[in-house]
């Protein structure tokens, strides 16, 4: 699809991920919705929005060990409770979009996704296509879904983003995160950690190798995993990782086609 952007609003941006129960960051989402509205009016692009589940689902999913799939009858209770958390957050995000005059509609992930061993096997895109044709933003989220091998599985928003960006041949994917981009080492441990402005086929092996040598913390391990999965699933599509807590980052990411001086661009 021409001029389609896919934006993932990370769960650690739109919720307080450390909270034991769902804690929505209303002010942040309100501002992000306004930025998206301005960008959309300026840029005239189509948009698919996906959000993470943050504290609305992660603690419940963990309690019921849903990442292991169906274990016993309690798993079904966990499935339902996790989904209630996801749907609550869906609605909160949707209301902020509406307040910013962005027409959106929830596409309930578990109603359109069939998974196998924790991966998306099928994602029915018909409804999404019809929404896009009416200039309505499909709003999806990371979710717990039915899995033909495991009973249930957790499908992250990142996996949904990768699937849809490929299927609709997106022009750009923006991951709105709680960090400034990809650092060369863990910024919490190293004061001299620097943002890597661009990762591409020429420098990625070096970068990943260096990250491994410099430290083995979860943060860099996670980022390394993210880079590799972007390489695997989003090659040919421009990917930006930006900090959603910094005003106008999202706006600029969506309207600027020039080289930007914030975040990390990943281009495979
Ligand atoms: C997680 O989705 C989905 C569930 C736990 C049900 P994500 O993995 O995309 O969520 P965040 O961005 O990490 O919060």
Q: pLDDT tens digit string along 145-157? A: 999 999 999 999 9
Residue 171, pLDDT score: 95
Indicate the pTM of the whole model.
0.94
Residue 192, pLDDT score: 87
Q: How confident is the model at residue 257 (pLDDT cuts 50, 70, 90)?
A: confident
Residue 243 lies in a domain: no
Q: How many angstroms is it from 8 CA to the middle of ligand 1?
A: 11
Average pLDDT, the chain: 92
Residue 163 lies in a domain: yes
Pocket test for ligand 1, best of 57, 82, 118 (most atoms within 8 A of CB): 57
Using the atom order of ligand 1, give the atom closest to the CA of residue 9: 12
Give me the CATH number covering residue 108. Answer: 3.40.1160.10
Residue 71, pLDDT score: 95
- For residue 92, pLDDT over 80 is answered with yes
**Ligand 1 pocket list (CB less than 6 A):** 10-11, 52-54, 57-58, 61, 82, 86, 142-144, 154, 156-158
pLDDT per position as a tens digit, 41-70: 998 899 999 999 999 999 999 999 999 999
pLDDT per position as a tens digit, 110-143: 999 999 999 999 999 999 999 999 999 999 999 9
pLDDT per position as a tens digit, 169-225: 999 999 999 999 998 888 878 888 889 999 999 998 888 887 766 655 556 667 788
Q: How confident is the model at residue 227 (pLDDT cuts 50, 70, 90)?
A: confident
Residue 12, pLDDT score: 94
Residue 219, pLDDT score: 61
Residue 19 lies in a domain: yes
The whole-angstrom separation of Cα 205 and Cα 212 is: 11
Residue 192 lies in a domain: no
The whole-angstrom separation of Cα 116 and Cα 186 is: 33
More confidently predicted of 19 and 238: 238
Residue 247 lies in a domain: no
Total of domains in the chain: 1
Residue 207 lies in a domain: no
Could you tell me which of 138, 144, 143 has the C-alpha nearest to residue 168? 138
Residue 22 structural domain? 4-170
The whole-angstrom separation of Cα 15 and Cα 12 is: 5
Residue 214, pLDDT score: 60
Distances (CA, A) of 5 to 13, 75, 109, 230, 244: 19, 36, 19, 16, 16
Residue 195 lies in a domain: no
Using the atom order of ligand 1, give the atom closest to the CA of residue 86: 6
Residue nearest to atom 8 of ligand 1 (CA): 156
% the chain with pLDDT above 70 = 96
Q: How many angstroms is it from 159 CA to the middle of ligand 1?
A: 10
Using the atom order of ligand 1, give the atom closest to the CA of residue 82: 6
Residue nearest to atom 10 of ligand 1 (CA): 52
Residue 212, pLDDT score: 67
Residue 158 lies in a domain: yes
What Rg do the C-alpha atoms of the chain give, in angstroms?
Answer: 18
The whole-angstrom separation of Cα 119 and Cα 106 is: 21
Q: How many angstroms is it from 258 CA to the middle of ligand 1?
A: 31
Q: How many angstroms is it from 4 CA to the middle of ligand 1?
A: 23
Query: Is residue 142 packed enough to be buried (19+ CB in 10 Å), middle (13-18) or exposed (0-12)?
Result: buried
Pocket test for ligand 1, best of 10, 58, 229 (most atoms within 8 A of CB): 58
């Amino acid at each position: 699809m021409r001029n389609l952007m896919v934006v993932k609003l990370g769960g650690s941006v739109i919720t307080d991920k450390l909270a034991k129960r769902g804690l929505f960051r209303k002010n942040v989402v309100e501002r992000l919705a306004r930025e998206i509205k301005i960008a959309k009016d300026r840029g005239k692009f189509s948009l698919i929005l996906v959000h993470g589940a943050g504290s609305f689902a992660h603690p419940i999913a963990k309690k019921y060990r849903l990442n292991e799939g169906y274990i016993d009858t309690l798993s079904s209770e966990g499935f339902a409770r996790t989904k209630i958390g996801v749907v609550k957050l869906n609605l909160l995000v949707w209301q902020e979009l509406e307040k910013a005059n962005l027409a959106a509609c929830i596409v309930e992930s578990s109603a359109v996704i069939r998974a196998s061993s924790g991966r998306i096997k099928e994602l029915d895109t018909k409804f999404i296509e019809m929404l896009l044709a009416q200039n309505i933003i499909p709003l999806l989220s990371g979710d717990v879904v039915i899995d033909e091998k495991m009973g249930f599985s957790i499908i992250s928003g990142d996996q949904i983003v990768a699937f849809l960006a490929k299927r609709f041949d997106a022009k750009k994917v923006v991951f709105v995160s709680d960090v400034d981009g990809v650092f060369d080492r863990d910024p919490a441990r190293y004061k001299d950690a620097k943002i890597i402005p661009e990762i591409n086929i020429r420098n990625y092996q070096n970068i990943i190798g260096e990250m491994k040598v410099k430290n083995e913390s979860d943060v860099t391990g996670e980022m390394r995993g993210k880079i590799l999965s972007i390489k695997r699933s989003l090659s040919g599509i421009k990917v930006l990782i930006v900090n959603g807590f910094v005003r106008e980052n999202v706006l600029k990411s969506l309207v600027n086609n020039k080289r930007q001086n914030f975040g990390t661009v990943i281009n495979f």
